[in-house]
Chains A and B, each alone.
Chain A
Amino acid sequence: MAAVFHQEAGRLTAALVRTLGDFDLAEECVQDALVAALEHWPREGVPANPGAWLMTAARRKGIDRLRREKRYQEKVAQLEKSIGPLEGGPGVRRVGGGDAQTLPDERLELIFTCCHPALAREAQVALTLRSVAGLTTPEIARAFLVPESTVAQRLVRAKRKIVDAGIPFRVPAKEELGERLEEVLAVLYLMFNEGYLSTGRRGASDRDLAAEAEWLASLVTDLLPNEPETLGLQALMRFHLARAASRFDENGDIVLLRDQDRMKWDRAKIDEARAIVGRFLRAGRAGPYQLQALIALAHADAPSWRETRWPDIVRMYDALLAFGDSPVIRLNRAIAVRHVAGAKIALAEVDALADALGSYHLFHATRAEFLRELGRIPESFDADRRALALTDNPAERALLERRLAAARGLAGQSA
């Protein structure tokens, strides 16, 4: 039943937002319909067409809610039209000729509305999780470790802006599609990273944001096939998820890619991701997510950290930089350069990024590694300490502290 709800919640919300033009009312109706299903299905069995059943239930619940408020007569008429004449009896089981295949799937419209560039990024993320993936406000709050009231307020403001500013409910026209899709992918990638980084500190019952983001990305590829960047993002997420089991040790501490037990990687997932790579390569239109997926593929295929195709990875980072110069990409490129040209050259490349990345903990952590390798131990201590001062993520802090302790031990021996 959970799987059905996951699939249907966004679909129902989308259809009702279209009919009612009101996110809150749409969500309440969907919630009511899911509750009705929880009551009926265990007793009466899951209906042959659960989607249509839920849609009918949601619309009837909507009519009930609206009848209580006289000013919505016009909307009641619209809802009644969309389910046909009400047949006798309380039986929401009867769905007339309605059929999930004929119910229009408007989730793509919903996704584009939730990820409209006129909304703040946090609002886009919260609204997409709430409306498309069907997460509750408390679930979103726990996933982002922010108070429930903060999420609730973000959602209220975003929904109000959609109505008041006239953000349309539709898939953007062809000439805007590229730009708007970029926005959607950025929202999903942020959601994914947030989930992926927090894996170590999540409670067992919490929804996994990374898995939600991957589900949403696969939904977008289903609804909008042949967009190579969407496929690229989906493949990238799947490569990362394939390594999930080896990312933390039994104490919940981070294990870096170089130290991971590659036997624990999920080979079936890697093959799925590889198949997606095949699909976007056939499209022949390169893009940043696709390049990142190719880098992830190079790591997935490597028998060890040392035997990774580093020269290929450097070339892919160069291609990535051609799409948009970014100091963070340059930092990652330097790690690959270290394996091709040595720590001295890699350090020089990283040092050139000091102005842009001085307050980024991974800049200092990367410098520390290169410095240690070059035997510049006191400087490496300083760099690790600065990295430590710049991150709040407990797993990352634990890693840096362990590293400082180990390096101190080594320095003690040699002194």
Chain B
Amino acid sequence: MPQYMLMFVGNDDEWAAQSKEQLKSAYAEIGSWWDDLSKQGVIKKGGELAHRNTATTVRRVSGQMKVSDGPFIESKEHVGGYALIAVPDLDAAIAIAKSWPGKSTTVEVRPIVER
């Protein structure tokens, strides 16, 4: 079965700025969506990524691996979570992405290369 990575892209600060109640209900919706798809065997693994402030970048600079603070790309939107799913084709992956309950998130769908 082909696998796809769903990347949930949004604004970390807006997400964090929600009220406690808003966050609670958002997590509840996402949680039940996640549990259903995991039970069906669609979601293989995945999770939420911590705020981008926690990111560390390791990159090769003239042969040396340098460690620096912050995400690889500075932008207003960041990947805030991911799910690896197994579905028959892109249409099925799109259908799952469309059902994502996150309110202000964009979902990028990427096939995993099979070798």
List chain A positions with a Cβ less than 8 A from chain B: 116, 118, 164-168, 172, 176
What sequence of 0s and 1s flags, for each residue 86-115 of chain B, a beta carbon within 8 Å of any chain A beta carbon? Answer: 001111011000000000000000010100
Q: Which residues of B contact A176 (CB under 8 A)?
A: 91
Q: Which residues of B contact A168 (CB under 8 A)?
A: 88-91
User: B2 interface residue, CB < 8 Å from A?
Assistant: yes
State in angstroms the CA–CA spacing of A166 and B89 once bound together.
5
Asked if residues B111 and A164 are in contact (CB atoms below 8 Å), the reply is yes
Q: Which residues of B contact A165 (CB under 8 A)?
A: 90, 111
CB-based closest 10 A-B pairs: A168-B89, A166-B89, A166-B90, A166-B2, A165-B111, A167-B90, A165-B90, A168-B91, A166-B111, A164-B111
State in angstroms the CA–CA spacing of A164 and B113 once bound together.
8
Distance (whole angstroms) from the CB of A234 to the closest CB of chain B: 26
Q: Which residues of B contact A167 (CB under 8 A)?
A: 89-91
State in angstroms the CA–CA spacing of A165 and B108 once bound together.
12
Q: Which residues of A contact B2 (CB under 8 A)?
A: 166
Q: Which residues of A contact B4 (CB under 8 A)?
A: 166
Distance (whole angstroms) from the CB of B96 to the closest CB of chain A: 13
List chain B positions with a Cβ less than 8 A from chain A: 2, 4, 88-91, 93-94, 111, 113
Q: Which residues of A contact B93 (CB under 8 A)?
A: 166
State in angstroms the CA–CA spacing of A166 and B91 once bound together.
8
State in angstroms the CA–CA spacing of A92 and B22 once bound together.
69
Q: Is the interface of B mostly helix, strand, loop or mixed?
A: mixed
Distance (whole angstroms) from the CB of A156 to the closest CB of chain B: 18
Report 23 cross-chain contacts, Cβ distance below 8 Å, ordered by A residue: A116-B90, A118-B90, A118-B94, A164-B111, A164-B113, A165-B90, A165-B111, A166-B2, A166-B4, A166-B88, A166-B89, A166-B90, A166-B93, A166-B111, A167-B89, A167-B90, A167-B91, A168-B88, A168-B89, A168-B90, A168-B91, A172-B91, A176-B91
State in angstroms the CA–CA spacing of A165 and B89 once bound together.
8
State in angstroms the CA–CA spacing of A168 and B111 once bound together.
13
Q: Which residues of B contact A116 (CB under 8 A)?
A: 90
Distance (whole angstroms) from the CB of A17 to the closest CB of chain B: 14
State in angstroms the CA–CA spacing of A167 and B2 once bound together.
11
Which among A116, A165, A168, A172 has the highest number of chain B CB atoms within 10 Å? A165
State in angstroms the CA–CA spacing of A166 and B87 once bound together.
10
State in angstroms the CA–CA spacing of A320 and B111 once bound together.
39
Q: Which residues of B contact A172 (CB under 8 A)?
A: 91
Name which residue of chain A comes closest to B93, CB basis: A166
State in angstroms the CA–CA spacing of A165 and B113 once bound together.
9
State in angstroms the CA–CA spacing of A167 and B4 once bound together.
12
Q: Which residues of A contact B94 (CB under 8 A)?
A: 118
Q: Which residues of A contact B89 (CB under 8 A)?
A: 166-168
State in angstroms the CA–CA spacing of A164 and B89 once bound together.
10
Distance (whole angstroms) from the CB of B7 to the closest CB of chain A: 14
Name which residue of chain A comes closest to B111, CB basis: A165
State in angstroms the CA–CA spacing of A116 and B94 once bound together.
12
Name which residue of chain A comes closest to B98, CB basis: A176
Name which residue of chain B comes closest to A117, CB basis: B94
Name which residue of chain B comes closest to A162, CB basis: B90
Other A-B pairs beyond A167-B90, A168-B89, A168-B91, 9, CB < 8 Å: A164-B111, A166-B89, A166-B90, A166-B93, A166-B111, A167-B91, A168-B88, A172-B91, A176-B91
Distance (whole angstroms) from the CB of A175 to the closest CB of chain B: 9
State in angstroms the CA–CA spacing of A176 and B89 once bound together.
15
Q: Which residues of A contact B88 (CB under 8 A)?
A: 166, 168
State in angstroms the CA–CA spacing of A118 and B91 once bound together.
9
Which among B4, B88, B90 has the highest number of chain A CB atoms within 10 Å? B90
